[in-house]
């Protein structure tokens, strides 16, 4: 499999047929990747509203045949995060991630381009201090829960979010990923999803991986959108019962790249809002009392 072979939305699948996953399926695509910084990202480098390169810089170094570096959508109240909480409910052993925005949560989505290369991705991203191993990632980086929309492709091969019998046509619906973020100066925002660049790494990706050469998992957690809030419920055993950690909240624009080695496979191009203002991850998990406790 190559990075170009992820299922686009116009490729039908047999009704109710779940595609087979292979941990080795990412290896061929991984060979397309180029080097990146494997260190933990410097989150303080992010500043909302100033990450998009000027148009002259976007096209100045494009190699022949590469898709031009895209332009992110403009900011809207739907992408302006005003509050975030993570609550642990011990009676149910669940973590509830919740964001609130100034506008309507999830109302702004990317416009389809008709291609995987250059496809836009919008995301509400919750970077955390969770250890990568708690998610099942055997690599370094910042663990983030990302709630994303991208109408040009589907990367949740086990899940049929719109319940129409086709597992490959609902990438535009908001859905959840676990991901590893790393510093990558090839992206205008200085950050990218960590790439799989070594054959041995493909053997340790989770069975629910997104079938792209990235540290990007598709756990299938439901997303609840209501007015100005967006919620995701995560069973605590899915993070090895780590219920004490810090977090922050970000809204961002990312783009897929498969043709230009001067840019990452999935990099950050603009940041619309950072709840803390500096991505210092100052917020902590709230622990609810168990039923019957004083």
The string of pLDDT tens digits covering residues 212-266 is: 889 999 888 989 999 999 999 999 999 999 999 999 999 999 999 999 999 999 9
In order, the DSSP letters of 185-210 are TTSTTSEEEPB--SHHHHTTS-TTB-
Q: Which secondary structure element, helix H or strand E, spans residue 267, and what is its range? A: strand 266-274
- On the question of pLDDT at 293 being above 70, the answer is no
- On the question of pLDDT at 200 being above 90, the answer is no
What's the predicted TM-score (pTM) here?
Answer: 0.75
pLDDT number for residue 164: 55
Confidence of residue 69 (pLDDT cuts 50, 70, 90): low
Two tokens, residue 54: 């000027």
3 φ/ψ angles, rounded to the nearest 5 degrees? -65, -20
**R_g over Cα of the chain:** 18
pLDDT number for residue 169: 47
- Per-residue buried b or exposed e for 202-234, using 16+ beta carbons within 10 Å of the residue's own CB: beebbebbbbbbbbbbbbebebeeeebbbbbbb
pLDDT number for residue 135: 94
Two tokens, residue 243: 């219920």
Cβ atoms of 66 and 256 within 8 Å: the answer is no
- Looking at per-residue pLDDT, the higher value among 140 and 163 belongs to 140
């Amino acid at each position: 499999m190559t990075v170009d072979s992820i299922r686009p939305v116009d490729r039908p699948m047999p009704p109710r047929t779940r595609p087979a996953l292979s941990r080795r399926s990412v290896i061929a695509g991984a060979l397309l990747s180029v080097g990146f910084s494997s260190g933990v990202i410097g989150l303080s480098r992010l500043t909302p509203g100033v990450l998009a390169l000027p148009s002259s810089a976007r096209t100045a170094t494009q190699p022949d045949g590469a898709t031009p570096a895209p332009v992110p959508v403009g900011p809207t109240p739907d992408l302006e995060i005003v509050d975030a909480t993570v609550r642990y409910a011990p009676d149910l052993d669940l973590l509830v991630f919740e964001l609130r925005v100034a506008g309507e949560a999830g109302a702004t989505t990317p416009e389809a381009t008709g291609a995987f290369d250059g496809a836009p991705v919008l995301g509400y991203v919750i970077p955390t201090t969770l250890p990568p191993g708690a998610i099942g990632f055997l690599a370094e980086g910042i663990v983030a829960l990302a709630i994303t929309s991208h109408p040009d492709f589907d990367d949740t091969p086990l899940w049929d979010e719109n319940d129409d019998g086709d597992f490959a046509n609902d990438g535009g619906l908001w859905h959840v990923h676990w991901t590893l973020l790393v510093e990558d100066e090839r992206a205008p925002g200085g950050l990218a999803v960590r790439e799989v660049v070594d054959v041995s790494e493909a053997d340790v990706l989770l069975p629910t991986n997104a079938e792209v050469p990235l540290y990007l998992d598709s756990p299938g957690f439901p997303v609840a959108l209501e007015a100005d809030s967006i919620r995701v419920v995560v069973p605590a055993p899915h993070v090895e019962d780590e219920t004490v950690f810090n977090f922050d909240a970000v809204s961002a624009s990312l783009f897929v790249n498969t043709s230009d080695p001067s840019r990452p496979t999935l990099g950050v191009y603009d940041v619309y809002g950072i709840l803390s203002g500096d991505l210092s991850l100052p917020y902590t998990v709230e622990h609810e009392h168990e039923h019957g406790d004083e």
